[in-house]
Amino acid sequence: MSSTGSFATYPSLRDRVVIVTGGASGIGAAIVEAFTSNGARVAFLDVQIEMAQELVARLEETGAPAPLFLHCDLTDIAALQDALRTIIEQFGTVDVLVNNAGDDTRHSIAEVTPESWDRGMAVNLKHQFFMAQGVIPAMRKAGRGSIINMSSIGWVIPSTRVPVYVTAKAAIMGMTRTLAHELGPSNIRVNCVMPGSILTERQRRLWLTPEYEAEVLAAQALKRFILPEEVARLVLFLAADDSSAITNQSYVIDGGWV
């Protein structure tokens, strides 16, 4: 299923410098494409080299400014900080950060070990804080900025079979709110997006059984799956000057599940 219709473009995003984590596939790739089509200068980080290169090549064919891809394991904070320095050296500033990367691999309570707990927090929560920390100086210098943290409705439903993931996604809400208040005086806005069940390629491949599809559609008010590009359009709005008075907020996009 695909969306049809004409959608908003945001002149304020033209030439803005945007960083997207986990931008090679799924929701992240849709976000990279959406910003690129709005004329932004985009850099994205990911560990999926082949998928990232395919995305860059596809976007180059559209004639839009090609995004910059940096291979980076976001659980390696030193590597993350090096990647940020590279981006800021190349582009001169950062206007928008989209903390998108995460991993919702299923796991039971009994399977969780101290080591797997730390890995889950590293891939779903820790890097969001250090990415934000790393862009704040450039945003303060520019006198503006928009940080968008990707959470999930998983902690609200609440989801089962993903206890570490759900814990991290709930924590992102608290982090968003405290950063918004601390950074507001610098005209840096911090908001959160909470997707529901989004029809990504990964979901199709790993989780989309007839039973799960029936569960999702029974729970949602809208009886269809939500697409990655629909999440991307919400992110665009929160990055653009159209939302200049909006901070400290969390936006659910789930077809009416919660």
The one-digit pLDDT tens for each residue of the chain (258 residues) are 344 468 999 999 999 999 999 999 999 999 999 999 999 999 999 999 999 999 999 999 998 889 999 999 999 999 999 999 999 999 999 999 999 999 999 999 999 999 999 999 999 999 999 999 999 999 999 999 999 999 999 999 999 999 999 999 999 999 999 999 999 999 999 999 999 999 999 888 888 899 999 999 999 999 999 999 999 999 999 999 999 999 999 999 999 999
In a domain, 130, yes or no: yes
pLDDT at 17: 98
Cα distances (Å, whole numbers) of residue 26 to 79, 124, 131, 201, 232:
23, 16, 20, 6, 10
- Reading the block at residue 35, the tokens are 């910003």
Indicate whether 52 belongs to any domain.
yes
Cβ neighbours, 10 Å, residue 4? 5
> How many Å apart are CA 172 and CA 115, to the nearest integer?
21
Longest dimension (CA), the chain: 51
Q: Residue 149 forms beta bridges with which residues?
A: 99, 192
pLDDT of residue 57: 96
**Residues involved in catalysis:** 165
- Give the relative orientation of helices 127-142 and 163-183 as an angle to the nearest 10 degrees: 20
- What pLDDT score was predicted for residue 47? 98
Look up the CATH number of the domain holding residue 241: 3.40.50.720
Residue 30 is predicted with a pLDDT of 98
- Domain assignment of residue 20, yes or no: yes
- Cα separation, 160 vs 11, in Å, equals 41
Query: Which pLDDT score, from 0 to 100, does residue 75 have?
Result: 98
Give residue 71's pLDDT: 98
What distance in Å separates the CA atoms of residue 43 and residue 231, rounded to the nearest whole number? 19
Residue 257 in any domain: the answer is no
Pairwise CA distance, residues 18 & 95, whole Å:
6
Is 218 domain-assigned? yes
CA-to-CA distance for 30 and 10, rounded, in angstroms? Answer: 16
Q: What is the rounded distance in angstroms from the CA atom of residue 102 to the CA atom of residue 120?
A: 9
* Token reading at 56: 């860059």
Integer Cα distance of 162 and 164 in angstroms: 6
Q: Which two tokens stand for residue 171?
A: 């924590």
Do 115 and 156 contact (CB within 8 A), yes or no? no
Distance in angstroms (rounded) separating the CA atoms of residues 225 and 210: 13
Q: How far apart are CA 41 and CA 164, in angstroms?
A: 34
For the whole model, what pTM was predicted? 0.96
Q: Kindly state whether residue 206 falls inside one of the protein's structural domains.
A: yes
Q: How is residue 173 written in tokens?
A: 């809400």
Domain count, the chain: 1
- Classify residue 5: in a domain, yes or no: no
Q: Which residues contact 14 (CB under 8 A, 6 or more apart)?
A: 38, 39, 40
Cβ proximity of 220 and 196 under 8 Å: yes
Q: Is residue 82 part of a domain?
A: yes
**pLDDT for the residue 5:** 62
What is the domain extent for residue 73?
12-249
3-state class (DSSP) for residue 249: coil
